[in-house]
Structures are given as structure tokens and as C-alpha cells.
Amino acid sequence: MKTVISDFIYCFKNILCCIWCRLRFPMASRPTVKFWKPGADTPGGHIEEERLNIVEAASSAVVYNPNASFSIERQRQSLPVFSYRNHILYLVENYRTVVIVGETGCGKSTQIPQYLIEAGWAAGGRVVAVTEPRRVAAITVATRVAEEHGSVLGDEVGFAVRFDSRCNQSRTRLKFVTDGLLIREMMSDPLLSNYSVIMLDEAHERSLCTDIVIGLVKKIQRRRPELRVIVASATLDAEKVRDFFNTNVTGDPSKDDVAVLSVEGRMFSIDVFYSLDPVPDFVQATIDTVKKIHHSEPAGDVLVFLTGQDDIDTVVRALITEARQLPRDAMRMRVLPMHGGLPRADQLRVFERTPRGTRKIIVATNIAEASVTIDGIVYVVDAGFVKMPAYNSGCGIESLVVAPISQASADQRAGRAGRVRSGKVP
């Protein structure tokens, strides 16, 4: 009993001591424990210096976008697609299907849906749907459009992906979805009666879900002639898509119900460098290239494209080891992986800004190839390979094989470096 009472008295004294300390020394003037770092003139002299460095780094994050200080409206008007706004709305009004081929970074993914909303295509309870090939693209584009539109994500602008949805059934007028989720909606509503316009973004991906959506949307248009379809991409064969959707069999071009529009102009220039000789190990070559960029090139973030999670983990471990061996006065490295196996929160970490003196290196699969804009990307390292599903007729199963990427994919990857400033693609 005495032991319990003594322990209670001891704890009570500690509480009183803490209360007295907080009253005696407010937060702004509370004394700091001093440590004497070897080489410092006085005990604790390095603490104030390090604190000032942290404050300076946090308050002066590097912003590569020269339009970041402009208003949202001015940023929208600075995009190349803005000069085609009236043309796009005219074509959507007069043609059932519009094929838009726009270079990467022209603003087609974020601006065209907003033009449709502003023109009244979402009035009367109707909804404009935008399909994206990947979840991270649907989420990031929806977040950016909601910010530009001045609304809360999940209200007038929302997204719906597998395992996650931020939509209000009565208020959402612009909805970003993945191709697979739109197919699931067709099971309950075969004619997609709630949608007035369906925009198929990044149609060049030509995945299984993308092809199914394109085929089903064409069938829906036969029953719903008022449904408008926009097919958008940077590297799309517009003539084949036009011939697929065109229902004019008379041979008279004036009776075509499909129009093609080309949006030219990239925001910034890109210098592309090629390897002169084949490399025996593209993973090791990627590591060496990133190290060379970090040690010899000016400030700017790096985006690396690899085939899968195994290669990404190998490169990330090698770069983290290199970062730990850098001198204290050298530019720091922050290495981040990005692939479909990561949770959503870890995937979105690549969009966080880094303080001055730190280079962000993102090692990703083709998940970052299209409809993803990461501020600060100046250098893109492309291994030139991708994992693709292939059917093996010998064993009768489907497996992932490493194959060279197409020229269209190479252009898409290179375009990641020209979004917010001039870049290089070694």
C-alpha cells in the first residue's frame, strides 16, 4: 500500500513540475537542450544553424513551372489547347464523334472536359465521363480539374476507380473513371443513359478494356445518336479511328459524322539522346545513367521508366545506397518507386515537392507514361522496354514478357520531360 501511495505522489509531483515549466517558459521562449557538436565554437552552436537551414529549405521549395505564380485562369489560357476551344465545341456540337490528336502537355486531358461543362453539356442532370487507362491518372487528373474548377473533389468533379470512389450521384457532373469501371457501369446501364459525352483519353494504350469500351460505345451510339464521343491521344492513328466510328457509306465527305482535329504545340522543348551501342544489362545502364545525371547535370528531377517491380526495387536500392555515400555538401537524392503494386498513398508521394538542394528521382513503370504531370521533371531515362501480356499457345496460358516499346510509347515517355520546363531524355 505504501508503495502505491509513494508512486502516486511521485507521478503527481512530475505533473506539477511539467505544468510549472509550461507556465514559466512559454513555447516561444522555452530553453532548448544544448549539445556540443565536434567542431562547433560553442555548445549548441550548430543547432541554430541547422534550424535556419531547415526553415530556409522549407520556405524556398524549387518550383519549375514558370506559370505557377499565375492565376488558375491564366494558367489555363497559357495551354496550347485553349486556342482550339471554340473549334472543339463546334465539332462536338455537329459531329457524333470527334478524334483529337494533341501533343503531350497541350492540356487536352484537363481542359477539354471543362470546356464541355462550361458549354452546358452537363446541364439538366447529365454527366460528362472521361476514361483513363490507369487509376493514378484518373485520380490525379480529377484532382487537378477540381482545383481549376474551384470545387471540392467529389462534388461537381469526381472520380471512380477500383476500390475507391469520390462521386456524388446527385451533384457530380464531371466524372473521371478507368476503362474497366466504365465496363462495369455498362452491365447495370447498357446504354449509359446518364452520360451526354464520353471522352476516351489516351486511346492509344489499346488495352483489352480500352478496346472493349471503344467497341461498346460505338454500339451505344446506334441506339443513342445524341451521345457524343471524344477520342483523344497524343500518338493515335486518327484515320483508322475515324473509319471505325464513321457510319457514312455514301462516299460523300459532307455526310461524315466523325471529325478529326489536330492540336499542335508543346509547352517546352525536349532534347533526346540515344545510346550508340546496345547495352548488355539495361537495369545497370539505367543506374549508371541516373548517377551521371545527378553528378553532372543541373538541378531538376528525374523520371526513370523500367519494366516491373523487380527492376524498380533493384534500381531503388542501388540509388539509395549511392545517396547515403554522397558528401554532405553535395545535392541530395530522394528516390521514390512508382508502380501498380503500391498503395495509393505511396503512389501519390511522387507529386510532393522537394526542398532546395534535393533531387527527386522517380523510378516507375509505364503507369507514369500518360496523363500524369509531375512538377519538376527535367530528365527522363527510358530503358526502352515494357512488360506486356502475351498468350503462349504451347502451354495455353498468358504470361508477362519483356518487349521493346513502340515509337508511340517512346514519344509519350519523352513528353513527360516537356510538361513544365525544357527537358532532356537520355
- pLDDT score recorded for residue 89: 95
217-224 own/partner pairs: CB under 8 Å, 24+ apart? 218/244, 218/245, 220/190, 220/191, 220/192, 221/96, 221/97, 221/245, 223/191, 224/191, 224/192, 224/193
The three cell numbers of residue 187 are: 452491365
Q: Are 129 and 197 in contact (CB under 8 A)?
A: yes
Residues of the chain with CATH 3.40.50.300: 80-263, 270-425
Q: What's the N-to-C CA distance of the chain in angstroms? A: 76
> Taking the model in full, what pTM does it have?
0.70
Q: Which residue has the cell 533526346?
A: 272
Q: Which residue has the cell 446506334?
A: 222
Q: Which residues does residue 157 pair with via DSSP β-bridges, in sequence order?
A: 153, 174
Nearest to 243 by CA among 228, 253, 232: 253
- Bridge-based pairing state of the strands 157-161 and 358-364: unpaired
HEC secondary structure over 125-155: HCEEEEEECCHHHHHHHHHHHHHHHCCCECC
Fold assignment, 80-263: Rossmann fold (3.40.50)
Question: How far lies 332's CA from each of 322, 327, 328, 352, 425, in Å?
Answer: 10, 9, 8, 16, 21
pLDDT in tens, the chain (426 residues): 545 455 556 555 555 555 554 454 444 333 333 334 344 444 444 434 433 333 333 333 333 344 555 677 888 888 889 999 999 999 999 999 999 998 777 889 999 999 999 999 999 889 999 999 888 889 989 999 999 988 899 999 999 998 889 998 889 999 999 999 999 999 999 999 999 999 999 888 778 888 999 999 999 999 999 999 999 988 788 889 999 999 888 888 888 999 999 987 666 778 888 888 888 899 999 999 999 999 999 888 999 999 999 999 999 999 999 999 988 888 999 999 998 888 878 888 888 888 888 999 999 998 888 767 787 889 999 999 998 888 878 888 888 888 898 887 888 888 888 766 778 887
Q: Which residues does residue 164 pair with via DSSP β-bridges, in sequence order?
A: 161
Cα separation, 68 vs 71, in Å, equals 8
- pLDDT score recorded for residue 39: 42
Residues 6 or more apart from 291 whose CB is under 8 A from it? Answer: 319, 322
Cα separation, 191 vs 22, in Å, equals 66
Query: Hey, what CATH class is 270-425 in?
Result: alpha beta
- pLDDT score recorded for residue 6: 56
- Bridge-based pairing state of the strands 258-263 and 332-338: unpaired
Cα separation, 288 vs 183, in Å, equals 43
Helix, strand, or coil (residue 377): strand
What is the helix (H) or strand (E) element at residue 238, kind and residue range?
Answer: helix 238-245
